[in-house]
Amino acid sequence: MSIVDDTPEERDFRERYALELRKKKVERYVSLHFGSDELSDELKKVKRQEMVSPGRRGEQIKLEEISKEIIRRLSLSHHHQQLKKKEIGNSYAPAYVEM
C-alpha cells in the first residue's frame, strides 16, 4: 500500500503522526551516544515494535513518515548551509577604496 491507497483512517493517522514528528527535537553537536535525539529514539522504538509484530500497517506508516521527516530536515539543513555560504562569501568581498 502507498499513500494513494490509504483509507481515511490511515490518512488521518499519517497526518497526526507527521505533526507529532515535527515536534521531536534533535540535538545538534551532540554525539548520538550521549545526546538526546527524539527522532532517532522514535525510529528505534518503531523498528523494535515492527520486529515484534511485523506487517502492521501502523508501523509501516510510522516508518514512512519518519523517513519523510528525516529527509525534510536534511533538506532544510542543506538549504540553510547554502544560504550561510552565500552570506559568508558576500561579506568577505573586497571593498573598493578610493585614495
> For the purposes of burial, counting CB atoms within 10 Å of the CB of 44, is it exposed (0-12), middle (13-18) or buried (19 or more)?
exposed
Computed over every residue of the chain, the mean pLDDT equals 81
Is the pLDDT at 9 greater than 70? The verdict is yes
Task: Please answer whether residues 21 and 42 qualify as being in contact, where contact means their C-beta atoms are separated by less than 8 angstroms.
Answer: yes
Confidence of residue 34 (pLDDT cuts 50, 70, 90): very low
Is the pLDDT at 31 greater than 80? The verdict is no
Is the pLDDT at 99 greater than 90? The verdict is no
Indicate the domain borders of the chain: 3-91
Tell me what pLDDT residue 83 has: 81
